[in-house]
Amino acid sequence: MKSICFYFQIHQPFRLKRYRFFNIGNDHYYFDDYSNEDIMQQIAARSYIPANRMLLDLINQYKGKFKVAFSISGVALDQMEVYAPEVIEGLRELSKTGDVEFLTETYAHSLSSLFDPEEFHNQVKQHSERIEMLFDQKPTVLRNTELIYSDEIADMVYKMGYKKMITEGAKHVLGWKSPNYVYQSASQPQLKLLLKNSKFSDDIAYKFSDYSWNEYPLTAEKFMSWIASTPPEEKVFNLFMNYEVLGNLQPSHSGIFEFMKALPRFAFEKGIGFSTPSEIMDSHKPIGAIQVPETISWSDEERDVSAWLGNRLQKSALKSLYEIGERVRLCTVRQLKQDWIYLQSSDHFYYMSTKHFGIGNSNFSPYMSPYDAFNNYMNVLSDFIGRIKAQYPDTVDNEELNALLTTIHNQDMEIKRLEQELKKVIGTNEELLVEKLSRKKADKI
């Protein structure tokens, strides 16, 4: 039986306010609260809230036969809690159905997997704990920022304890192979991989309301006929896209909600089902290994990381950011920790891309140009680095930092050991007290 795996990304960065050179050292608040609130509430009204309602209706209507998955960045969750809590409530209702899976990713929707393995590990752990707290699910599938993946990243993911991951079905990696199977990592054979079917995903995400497309209009019946007509041995169809496709990137007047509502009926008529990523990877064996020596993503035609690392501006900004990672991890100031997370979102570096300047994708940027984005970000980062160095100055070299980190880690382990011993002692004393009281009671009788 053929099965469709719908996965939706939800992410919104904390956009920076206009921060000038003269603000450095004087203003330590970096974020444009007005824009962040306005954008989140607009997208929630147009997309997230009606889409949540629609998916819940479909799940209830088809009684467990329709299923989807979500990956929601931690920075998006932080904004939803403040600006659109009803979105989180809707996602909780979806989680309670048992037919929606929540994946884990980097908390900041960051590029830490490319620059700082320890930060990558910490953010995945932080994100997984947040998902479990909010939705009562412990994620078992990892989705890296922008579906970024390589053999080296696979090693890191597997060492974190994950055996399931999703990424892009890049043509230059697959060659003649089809993305419509479960694969495994070449570097870590125990790590199963689900690959995005770019054609079918993009037909919905980008072409649905394109009047110039030769397949316009796209109907649910037509779409399902395409999937049904694929070779019978191809069983898995991974449709990965931004959740904003439903109602925002594809407006409601385009008919996108009606299209989604009709999909299950035509799918079931053709013997096509729906599954979550975990269900697919649990029920299908890998048919082969995928070797990815060079990093891939789901961005642009190249399916590489050039959207965030394609020019000197981006590389310089990322180098400056991650050079201070060890110092930030030593820091205990909550506001600094939070700013560190928010400054890592991949969007800040995407805005610096000269690939997209002057074309459609540049509309997502709040800046006049990539150079404007770079200057604003580096002004903010300069102030942030100054605050970090006030805590841990340049006179403390990396060896000293590592020694301090080791000492702190050892102290944490010792504290945990002593806490466990204390619990045992308290438990033993309570048992002795109960036994003593019982004896006294027996003596009186």
List, for residues 137-193, the tens digit of each pLDDT value: 999 999 999 999 999 999 999 999 999 999 999 999 999 999 999 999 999 999 999
Give DSSP secondary structure letters for 381-432. Answer: HHHHHHHHHHHS-TTS-HHHHHHHHHHHHHHHHHHHHHHHHHHHHHHHHHHH
Give a yes or no: residue 438 inside a domain: no
Burial class (CB in 10 A: 0-12, 13-18, 19+), 145: buried
| Low-confidence winner among 4-8, 291-295, 418-422 (lowest mean pLDDT) | 418-422
pLDDT reading at 359 higher than 50: yes
Q: Residues 13, 236: contact at Cβ < 8 Å?
A: no
Give a yes or no: residue 276 inside a domain: yes
The partner residues of 68 in beta bridges, in order of sequence, read: 6, 100
Check residue 364 and give its pLDDT: 80
Q: What is the mean pLDDT of residues 333-341?
A: 97
List, for residues 204-250, the tens digit of each pLDDT value: 999 999 999 999 999 999 999 999 999 999 999 999 999 999 999 99
Give a yes or no: residue 417 inside a domain: no
Q: Which of 137, 117, 119 is nearest to 129 (CA)?
A: 137
Round the average pLDDT of the chain to a whole number and report it: 92
Q: How many domains does the chain have?
A: 1
Give a yes or no: residue 422 inside a domain: no
- 29: CATH: 3.20.110.20
C-alpha distances out from residue 432 to 62, 232, 290, Å: 57, 69, 60
Give a yes or no: residue 62 inside a domain: yes
pLDDT band, residue 344 (cuts 50/70/90): very high
Q: Which residue range forms the structural domain that includes residue 79?
A: 2-290
**Catalytic annotation present for 168:** no
Give a yes or no: residue 388 inside a domain: no
Catalytic residue, candidates 119, 146, 244, 326: 146
Give a yes or no: residue 172 inside a domain: yes
pLDDT reading at 198 higher than 70: yes
The model's pTM: 0.88
Q: What is the mean pLDDT of residues 328-352?
A: 96
Give a yes or no: residue 233 inside a domain: yes
pLDDT band, residue 269 (cuts 50/70/90): very high
